[in-house]
Amino acid sequence: MCYHIFAFIAGFVLDLLIGDPHFIPHPVRLIGSLISFLDKRLNCDAGYNISEKKLNLIKYKRGMLLAFTVIFATFAISVIIIVAAYSINLYAGVIAEAVMTWQILATKCLRVESMRVYDALRTDGVDAGRRAVSMIVGRDTSVLDVAGVTRAAVETIAENTSDGVIAPMLYTAIGGPVLGFVYKAVNTMDSMLGYKNDKYMYFGRFAARLDDVVNFIPARISAYLMIAAAFIGGRHFDGKNAYHIFKRDRFNHASPNSAQTESVCAGALRVQLAGDAVYFGKLVKKKYIGDGLREIEYEDIKRANRLMYITAFLCELLSVAVMSLVLILL
């Protein structure tokens, strides 16, 4: 167990130092390629002369088939890599675990991508900010002003603190890189298939609901860790308001999980997040999160990242403490 703890810590440190360099092939991209391959072959209506209800059921079942195929492939390949590495020697196994843990986490990557938005707004204005934020959000960014671009970036940081950092960290702590990559597979399927449009309404429904299930507990742990981070993070954060907005607005989202950390972040920064947004040319009505005790500004992107980093460190410390306790008890 002590070797697993060392690999877990080393993977987190590698993530903080290296992040996700574009010149290094990332396993999640391979998972995405598999999802795209199966999507093209399974998500089609051709050859069916049946009722719409039966067709939708077929789409749902095919979506389930895709999900189980991707999960099994991810699990099998991860196990093979770990077993093969440890069969060489202990050091190779620890190195493999550390590298896989590094690739599972997205702490620095989230900061780097969101800070591109900050830099664009600060140096080149709203048009550059729109282009930068379009790389990390799914909404139509062409209609956003400076506040809208900033809000989109802050929301992405807040939500992905759970999806991209805390949840994969927790699953990796529980089941090593194998379970960590299984989580990443589920999360990637939701990102690629979990749309409520004609193409994915039924085909992507299972993936979306599975993602809701696997993120249910981690999202709430993330929220409480972020509240703690707001209390210890310094003068830019309001811990009491973070808890207040969390308790009030944590369900102001179509997803049961997304508003958990978004509400904390809004309260900690004393700003208002969410609200109506345009997706694929259609206006989507959304509830607001937070009170907007002050106007949001692009400096809030830096503050949200600082909050995310403190939350990540708290989760790492908590995970290592629990893993060490289990080691002692065993």
Domain ranges of the chain: 2-329
Euclidean distance between CA atoms 227 and 237, whole angstroms: 10
Give me the pLDDT at residue 262, please: 96
Query: What is the pTM assigned to this prediction?
Result: 0.93
- Mind listing the pLDDT tens digit for each residue in 230-269? 999 999 999 999 999 999 999 998 889 989 999 999 999 9
Instruction: Return d(Cα 277, Cα 217) in angstroms, integer.
Output: 27
Q: Are 141 and 127 in contact (CB under 8 A)?
A: no
Cβ atoms 236, 259 nearer than 8 A: no
CA distance 151 to 149: 5
Q: Cα(289)–Cα(270) distance, rounded to whole angstroms?
A: 10
Residue 2 token pair? 């002590």
pLDDT digits (tens, 9 = 90+) for 192-245: 998 888 888 999 999 999 999 999 999 999 999 999 999 999 999 999 999 999
C-alpha–C-alpha distance, residues 39 and 35, integer Å: 6
- DSSP structure class, residue 274: E
pLDDT in tens, 108-162: 999 999 999 999 999 999 999 999 999 988 788 888 999 999 999 999 999 999 9
Residues 6+ apart with CB under 8 A from 270: 238, 241, 290, 291, 293, 294
Long-range contacts formed by 203-208: CB under 8 A, 24+ apart = 203/39, 203/42, 203/43, 203/59, 203/60, 203/62, 203/63, 203/66, 204/63, 205/60, 205/63, 206/60, 206/63, 206/64, 206/67, 207/63, 207/66, 207/67
Element (H, E) at 170: helix 167-193
With CA atoms as reference, report the closest residue to 19 among 30, 7, 9, 11.
11
Mean pLDDT of the chain: 93
